[in-house]
Structure 1
């Protein structure tokens, strides 16, 4: 495999960043699945503003949003 060696975002190990590495930027399928699980569990969050549509939608809870 030819390509640049990068740090795996999950375990910190070496990962080849090339088309031949089907898990890139991760070093393995395991690290990719762990990362996906963290997103699914909402362990990772992207900061942002709540839109007016989202704030009024039933079933959505935003703890920082003002109560109506």
Structure 2
């Protein structure tokens, strides 16, 4: 298996990375917001449609 950061062979201790350095680089990307999961923009409160449900009281 190749390290997703530098493509070197992984090391069991840091899997799926090859070193602590590459693991820290990956963590830094997560914490800085570099990794983003694509999706729809959330609706504003005034854009959320009212749902009528007779099983639950309002």
TM over 0.5: yes
Count of residues in Structure 1 that have an aligned counterpart in Structure 2: 45
CA offset at residue 37 of structure 1?
A: 0.0
**1 or 2, which has the higher strand percentage?**
1
Name structure 1 gaps, 5 residues minimum: 1-5, 57-68
User: Which of residues 16, 25, 29 is equivalent to 1:34?
Assistant: 25
Name structure 2 gaps, 5 residues minimum: 46-58
Query: What value does the CA root-mean-square deviation take over the aligned residues?
Result: 1.6
TM-score, scaled to structure 1:
0.56
* Separation (CA, whole Å) in 2 of partners of 1:36 and 1:42: 10
Greater Cα radius of gyration, structure 1 or 2 = 2
**1 or 2, which has the higher helix percentage?**
2
